[in-house]
Homo-oligomer: A and B are copies of this chain.
Amino acid sequence: MRKTLAEWRPAVDEAIADLVPQEIDAEYLETFFGEPTYEYDPQGIQRALSDPLWDLLDRGGKRWRAVLFLVFVEAFGENPEAYLPYACIPEILHNGTIIVDDVEDEASMRRGDDALHHIYGQDVALNAGNAMYFLPLKLLMENPGDLPPERRLAAYEMLMYELNRTHLGQGMDICWHNERDVRITAEQYLEMCACKTGCLGRIVARLAAIVTDQPTAVEHAVADYAELTSVAFQIGDDILDVENSLGRAGEFGKEFGNDVREGKKTLLVIHAIRESEPEHAARLQEILAADTNTDEEVLEALSIIDDAGSIDYARDRALALAAEARESIADLDLEETAYEELQEFTEFVIDRDV
């Protein structure tokens, strides 16, 4: 029986538990990390690595990076079960970036609970997040798919290419966040998204292509699909934050306009500042740069964005990116059901809850 997307989740979690068990013992450490020279402290590794990792995973998440990897494998006409361990690679990388990003952004909450650095301390959280950058890369050495050396090297080189760009994207995002003025272009914003969010999507797609030995052209096509979809989703997020905020603004006690409060330079903001009358643009800039804002000020900023037609502009760009994503895999020879799932996936860019 073919698994639905949701049915993959328990299998993915089992594969992650094979990589990092909920209970750490000396035998696991010796098997996975190699013989100690002296003596491991399993209790310490339990607290430093397994506890924070599973705390985060147990809070939920759809594991969609892992699932998308498996859909790609299926689309290439291969059996997803045979490549299940590799699905952990983008999933653990993604959860690692969440932990590190939360420290960088000084976030207080994550998936409905305290951010990990508030529970385990910044030191443990950060080290666990960073360990989650390297744990999945070691999995390639275990070679569960019995890949020939050239495929393993291709996977490493792909990962190094994409993970370097991830840090470029995060670097741009952080830098802009710390600047007062909105000096960037829409194209630079899209590049930031393509690097920061898109590269993890590209890892999902390219890894599936590499482990199943697809031609280079196919690998590039699915990478384009994944990058375009990721960027479209990010713009969708930006739109939803503004739209939901405008809808919620009258409701007493509801938090709204988070992106404006954080001073985020989203595609909508970049467009609104470029297209608004100078005094409105200056006012929007001022509200974004302020340390704190009243609800009225946040609403004023949201109205300037709305009046500039920035929601429609961003929606058009997101939908165009999603269409481009569908187009990029349209000519490939992919298994039919999986292909349809990939096409449908891009439809949720705008039409989704929260």
Q: Is the CB of A34 within 8 A of B165?
A: yes
Q: Is the CB of B172 within 8 A of A41?
A: yes
Q: Is the CB of B130 within 8 A of A130?
A: yes
Oligomer copy total? 2
Bitwise, A130-158 to B at CB < 8 A (1) or not (0) is 11011101101100000001101100110
B contact residues around A123 at 8 Å (CB):
104-105, 174, 177-178
Interchain CB contact (< 8 A) of A134 among B149, B163, B175: B163
Q: How far is the CB of A250 from chain B (nearest CB, A)?
A: 34
A100 at the A/B interface (Cβ < 8 Å)? Answer: yes
Complex-state Cα separation, A307 to B163, whole angstroms: 51
A31 at the A/B interface (Cβ < 8 Å)? Answer: no
Bitwise, A1-44 to B at CB < 8 A (1) or not (0) is 00000000000000000000000000001000110111111011
A121 at the A/B interface (Cβ < 8 Å)? Answer: yes
Q: How far is the CB of A215 from chain B (nearest CB, A)?
A: 19
A274 at the A/B interface (Cβ < 8 Å)? Answer: no
A77 at the A/B interface (Cβ < 8 Å)? Answer: no
Q: Is the CB of A187 within 8 A of B38?
A: yes
B contact residues around A121 at 8 Å (CB):
174, 178
Q: Is the CB of B160 within 8 A of A37?
A: no
Known: A124-B174, A128-B171. A160 touches B140 (CB 8 A): yes
Q: How far is the CB of A62 from chain B (nearest CB, A)?
A: 25
Q: Is the CB of A171 within 8 A of B40?
A: no
Complex-state Cα separation, A163 to B36, whole angstroms: 14
Interchain CB contact (< 8 A) of A191 among B37, B48, B103, B163: B37
Interface size class of A (residues with CB under 8 A): 35 or more
B contact residues around A198 at 8 Å (CB):
37
A45 at the A/B interface (Cβ < 8 Å)? Answer: yes
A79 at the A/B interface (Cβ < 8 Å)? Answer: no
A194 at the A/B interface (Cβ < 8 Å)? Answer: yes
Most buried by B among A156, A187, A188: A156
B contact residues around A170 at 8 Å (CB):
127
Q: Is the CB of A227 within 8 A of B37?
A: yes
Complex-state Cα separation, A47 to B105, whole angstroms: 17
Interface residues of A (CB under 8 A from B): 29, 33-34, 36-41, 43-45, 47-49, 100, 103-106, 121-124, 126-128, 130-131, 133-135, 137-138, 140-141, 149-150, 152-153, 156-157, 160-161, 163-165, 167-168, 170-172, 174-178, 184-185, 187-188, 190-192, 194, 198, 227
Query: What are 11 contact pairs spanning A and B, CB under 8 A?
Result: A34-B165, A47-B175, A48-B171, A100-B130, A121-B178, A127-B174, A131-B171, A134-B160, A138-B161, A140-B160, A141-B157
Q: Which 5 A-B pairs have the closest CB atoms?
A: A48-B171, A131-B167, A44-B175, A39-B187, A104-B123
In the complex, besides A100-B130, A124-B171, 9 extra interface pairs with C-beta distance below 8 angstroms are A36-B191, A39-B190, A44-B171, A49-B168, A106-B122, A121-B178, A124-B175, A134-B164, A149-B150
